[in-house]
Amino acid sequence: MLIKRPADIKSSEITPERVYFNRRAFMQGAAAAGSLAATTGLYYLFAGINRRPPSAPGPRPLATVIPSDPALTTEEPPTDYDDITHYNNFYEFSTAKHDVAYESQALVTRPWTVVVGGLVNRPRTFDVDDLIRLFPLEERVYRLRCVEGWSMVIPWVGFPLSGLLKLVEPLGAAQFVAFETLHDPKQFPLQRSRLLDWPYREGLRLDEALHPLTLLAVGLYGKTLPNQNGAPLRLVVPWKYGFKSIKSIVRITVTDRMPRTTWREAAPHEYGFYANVNPQVSHPRWSQATERRIGEFTRRPTLLFNGYADQVASLYAGLDLRKFY
């Protein structure tokens, strides 16, 4: 899958710099030894070991990152960059977490268009870089809790979704916001299968979408998002299970109806629309009482609303949290 390398891409562009220079030094040494055949053989061996799909240049540093409101960021130590970028759920690429980083390298994330419309006064189509320039970028360190029972702490860079929604001016009838991932089976190998009903879709109630914790992330660890984490733009809703945090968004639609959501449609008895983290309500296949923080050995208790109850519990006054898993 995705191992073709077009001839017009130089190996310097698709090989990590360090490996590239080591390889060059090695090649020069070997050539000096005067054995062309051996060198060629070793070159292919080496190239095979380092084989990667063609890729855009990796994550780049992000210019303006303002420290975020201390009330909106955790002091917990962030998970290692390597774990955040090599233990991924991104079913368009692979169902194997450790393969997503590799499989996603060829995703083309520029140019990238985001269509924002529906029940709004000012529908707009943005080039993603223009969109990103409209807002000051903040660092937000959030817990991420996957419904599978693992968690991480991720230093996102992004801007509140509320800023974008205010710009397009939702109409009075607006009640929900729907999100869609890019649909492009040429780029996403598993979109050629019927694993899920593509494109991946998610949704929020409008008040959830306007909450200050709800982020559109464009980076992590001070750099642009790696493809495997949802480049160039993904949602982050830290008090909900990770599947709500939809990646590689191309469409945001304000609506008066509860949006279709991918996992709820795939398995309605397993995944709800709200999907707020709740240690008391078990998933049919996984208890939600505890979680494994990636990089740690023992499990820790899971917190109601993933530890964000003070900020978000009031959104759900009057809602039966057991029923609306």
Ligand X SMILES: Nc1nc2c(c(=O)[nH]1)N[C@H]1C(S)=C(S)[C@@H](COP(=O)(O)O)O[C@H]1N2
71-90 residues in contact with Mo ion (CB under 5 A) are: 89
Distance CA 193, CA 213 (A): 34
**Which residues in 173-208 are b (16+ Cβ under 10 Å) and which e?**
ebebbbbbbbeeeebbbbbeeeebebbbbbbbbbeb
Task: Give the residue at shortest CB distance from Mo ion.
Answer: 146
Q: Name every residue whose Cβ is closer than 8 Å to that of residue 149 and which is 6 or more positions away in sequence.
A: 286, 287, 288, 290, 291, 292
For the segment 211-240, give every residue that binds ligand X (CB under 6 A).
Answer: 229-230
92: partner contacted, choices Mo ion, ligand X, none (Cβ within 5-8 A by kind): ligand X
Count of residues interacting with ligand X (CB under 6 A): 17
DSSP secondary structure letter of residue 307: G
Give the dihedral sign, CA 185/189/190/193: positive
Q: Does residue 144 belong to the site contacting Mo ion (CB under 5 A)?
A: no
How many residues touch Mo ion (CB under 5 A)? Answer: 4
302 sits near ligand X (criterion: CB under 6 A) = no
With CB under 5 to 8 Å by kind, the binding choice for 94 among ligand X, Mo ion, none is none
Rounded Cα distance between 261 and 245, Å, is 11
> Shortest distance, CB of residue 288 to ligand X, whole angstroms?
14
Antiparallel, parallel or unpaired: β 249-255 and 113-118: parallel
Shortest distance, position 252 Cβ to ligand X, whole Å: 14
Residues of this chain, 180-199, that bind ligand X according to CB under 6 A: 181
- Residue 138 within binding range of ligand X, rule CB under 6 A: no
Residue 247 touching ligand X (CB under 6 A): yes
Q: How far is the CB of 16 from ligand X (least distance, A)?
A: 21
The CA distance from 323 to 221, in Å, is 37
The span from the CA of 192 to the CA of 202, in Å, is 20
Cα three-residue angle 241-232-253, rounded to 5 degrees: 65
What 3-state class would DSSP assign to 89? coil
Pair of tokens at residue 173: 């009838």
Which does residue 245 touch among Mo ion, ligand X, none (CB within 5 to 8 A, set by kind)?
A: ligand X
CB nearer to ligand X: pick between 160 and 242: 242
Which CB sits closer to ligand X, 132 or 182?
182
Considering the rule CB under 6 A, would residue 243 count as an interface residue with ligand X?
Answer: yes
Q: Is 238 in the site for Mo ion (CB under 5 A)?
A: no
Q: Which runs of E-coded beta strand occur in 162-287?
A: 176-181, 201-205, 215-220, 223-224, 234-236, 249-255
276 binds ligand X (CB under 6 A): no
Contact present, 191 and 130 (Cβ < 8 Å): no
CB of 235 to ligand X, least distance (A): 8
68 binds, among ligand X, Mo ion, none (CB under 5 to 8 A by kind): none
Which of ligand X, Mo ion, none does residue 139 bind to, with CB < 5 to 8 Å depending on kind?
none
246 binds ligand X (CB under 6 A): yes
Asked if 242 interacts with Mo ion (CB under 5 A), we say: yes
Residues 68-97 contacting ligand X, CB under 6 A: 88-92
Q: Which residues bind ligand X (CB under 6 A)?
A: 88-92, 144, 146, 181, 200, 229-230, 242-243, 245-248
Q: Which residues bind Mo ion (CB under 5 A)?
A: 89, 146, 242-243
